[in-house]
Structure 1
Amino acid sequence: MTTTMMRLRQHLGLVSSPSIYTSAIARFGNNTPHRRRTTRSRTMSSSASDAAPFEKPRAVVKKVLAESQPEGQGATVRRSIGRHELRNLDPFLLLDEFTVYKPAGFPDHPHRGFETVTYMLEGAFTHQDFAGHKGTIKTGDVQWMTAGRGIVHSEMPAGDGVHKGLQLWINLSSKDKMIEPRYQELESKDISRGESEDGGVEARVIAGEALGAASPVYTRTPTMYVDFTMRPGSRLHQPVPEGWNAFVYVVDGEGVFGRETATAHYCLVLGPGDGVSVWNRSTRPLRFVLVAGQPLGEPVVQHGPFVMNSRAQIQKAMEDYYYGKNGFERAGQWSSSA
């Protein structure tokens, strides 16, 4: 490694064990609607029969407990995808369940080459970036951010109390990694909702389709993302596109996924097949997210907040950020007001 590259890595904080959110936080000096793409599927719920209407039901092939770890500035996350037991699940790079109290948060940091999906479970987060975008997402709201060629932003709690949510990182294909950044934001009231015929299962459809509801979100990397709530005793048979990688993350309660029982904070990787069956046999409501995506099948080289296809592209991203070019032109003159 050249002396110049070593200095650059030190400046970006990427020399050893980088924090994924903040490893490239460095100050310089003073320091359009989208075409809708949905996954059409037929979903049913039954409280009387556990017979799955699938030729190839998906089984749980990996079970990972998301353990707490520090992240950002004083924040705590439960990371499932992105830890050593589950480095990634093409096209998914990371899944964090975050818990933040002021003044902790995720101050100014860059991204390139992927998308972040932030879904608030409780509280509110204020986002602002170096292009002048600013807003607050509250409980039940979603922000779908395509970082593309480059964004520097901050994500900080909007008030006192606890702020919780899920953040998912979705990889972009090589042809999309350097596109212009863009946002899709949905308030809770605008998220599509579906319900089973017997009323035992409710779905909030963030991307794709479920229980007769379809999301308006455009997914550049084809993705399905649904927040399910199941009453005690209810069953769900949810189709998932064949060939897509899929996982479940349990937010609250206890459920049986295929033949595997899981409780809160467990991530379940689903094997191949055309659908998953879930049974809430407990006496409490069950809440979980089901996420699936079409694999990209491309090399993944990740260094902190940059995800590209080669080591050379990572070095180029670091240089662009350091020198303020190729998408990072405004980085050196900007800092958030958080």
Structure 2
Amino acid sequence: MSLRNIQAIVLASLKDMDGVPVWQGFPTAHQDRIDPFLLLHHLQMKVPAYVSPRHAGVPPHPHRGFSPVTFVYKGGVHHRDSRGNNNTVYEGGTQWLNAGMGIIHSERPPADIQEIGGEQEMIQLWVNVPIAHKMDQPSYFSLDADATPTVKTEDGLATIRVVSGDILGTKGAIPTVTPVNTAMISAKAGAKLAWDFPRDHQAFLYILDGALKFTSGEEVGPWNTVVFKQDGEGIQFEVSRDASLFFASGLPIHEKVVAHGPYVMHTETAILEAMRDFQVGKMGILIEE
């Protein structure tokens, strides 16, 4: 397996999302989108005990034209949407929403968030879909930690939860519109990890916590996105401090992207149509109980 070289190491920028601080891995001033991946947010917060979970998190909002995906590292998320889905996913789980032609959803802390420690840590990844699928019917997939296919290294120092695609011969449980590999990784110091994936994929590794050392000598700490060149079939690194990681690779779509807020389409006209369709109720209605 020929190893990929590092193209960039990008420190996330801290953003205010309606009063909620999040680390934005990309895009930033120094890193554009990584086709087919549009955006990465890393949320770390403590839900105040005096705030009801019903009023915390993200209230109902629309999406069209891509897949917003949430990977839960701590706490949980209660998802409800205008297609009738109502589900809670906890630590180690994933919720994968294909917004398609349009859907309204909310993402709140679970009702028992204080009983499980009150902490929230999640990655939200926006995955683009081809123009031909932007107006598909919406779909929702949830995956609990126990149902997530998992690989453990022989030394027992690392665990890789494969959500989608194929990593180390283990296939993820969530289907994707285009080829996309995603994994949540926890590893102890001293773990040595390596895996391959298609040469035509774009790939990155985001470090939530801990530190890694690559064969080229770079040592990388938290809140950094390591973007790889398309010059090999795999990656390899050693964990120098206990780490929580997120990995993704995907086949580039190579199509025009026009994004505005919660909509990702291919023309300005399509964005205006999305805004109009939301206003007139074509994306449905979500009334939270």
Is this a same-fold pair by TM over 0.5?
yes
CA distance in 1, matches of 2:155, 2:191: 9
CA distance in 2, matches of 1:86, 1:79: 11
What are the Cα deviations for residues 184-219 of structure 1, in whole angstroms up to 9, with x where unaligned? 111110111112233333211111223342212111
Does the 8 Å contact 2:74/2:90 carry over to 1?
A: yes
CA distance in 2, matches of 1:307, 1:163: 27
Does the 8 Å contact 2:129/2:177 carry over to 1?
A: yes
The within-5 A match list for 1:16-165 is 54-55=1-2, 57-72=3-18, 74-100=19-45, 101=47, 102=51, 103-158=55-110, 159-160=113-114, 161-165=118-122
C-alpha change, 1:303 and 1:129, in structure 2 (3 Å) is same
CA RMSD of aligned residues (A): 1.6
CA distance in 1, matches of 2:270, 2:165: 31
CA distance in 1, matches of 2:168, 2:186: 12
| Equivalent position of 1:186 in the other structure | 143
Q: CA deviation at 1:229?
A: 2.6
Aligned residue for 1:175, secondary structure, equals helix
CA distance in 2, matches of 1:268, 1:83: 13
**Which letter maps to 2:163?**
I
Query: Residue 274 in 1 paired to residue 233 in 2?
Result: yes
CA distance in 2, matches of 1:256, 1:270: 14
Deviates more, 1:192-201 or 1:114-123: 192-201
Q: CA deviation at 1:299?
A: 0.1
CA distance in 1, matches of 2:163, 2:267: 31
CA distance in 1, matches of 2:265, 2:152: 39
Does the 8 Å contact 2:167/2:197 carry over to 1?
A: no
CA distance in 2, matches of 1:61, 1:165: 25
List structure 1 runs of 4+ shifted beyond 6 angstroms: none
Kindly indicate which of the two structures has a greater share of residues assigned to strand. 2
What are the Cα deviations for residues 109-153 of structure 1, in whole angstroms up to 9, with x where unaligned? 100000011111111111111222111111111111100000111
CA distance in 2, matches of 1:136, 1:235: 33
Aligned residue for 1:312, secondary structure, equals helix
Structure 1 portions without partners, runs of 5+: 1-53
CA distance in 1, matches of 2:145, 2:84: 24
CA distance in 2, matches of 1:227, 1:257: 19
- TM-score, normalised via structure 2 length: 0.90
**Which letter maps to 1:64?**
V
CA distance in 2, matches of 1:122, 1:199: 21
What are the Cα deviations for residues 146-169 of structure 1, in whole angstroms up to 9, with x where unaligned? 000001111111233221111100
Q: CA deviation at 1:233?
A: 2.2
Q: CA deviation at 1:318?
A: 1.1
C-alpha change, 1:230 and 1:163, in structure 2 (3 Å) is closer
Aligned residue for 1:253, secondary structure, equals strand
CA distance in 2, matches of 1:105, 1:193: 29
Aligned residue for 2:132, secondary structure, equals coil
Aligned residue for 2:275, secondary structure, equals helix
The within-5 A match list for 1:282-301 is 282=240, 284-301=241-258
CA distance in 2, matches of 1:121, 1:228: 10
The within-5 A match list for 1:231-242 is 231-242=188-199
CA distance in 1, matches of 2:215, 2:88: 38
- TM-score, normalised via structure 1 length: 0.77
Aligned residue for 2:146, secondary structure, equals helix
| Equivalent position of 1:221 in the other structure | 178
Work out the number of aligned pairs and report it.
275
Does the 8 Å contact 1:148/1:176 carry over to 2?
A: yes
Identity of aligned residues (%): 33
CA distance in 2, matches of 1:68, 1:86: 14
C-alpha change, 1:86 and 1:274, in structure 2 (3 Å) is same
CA distance in 1, matches of 2:189, 2:146: 25
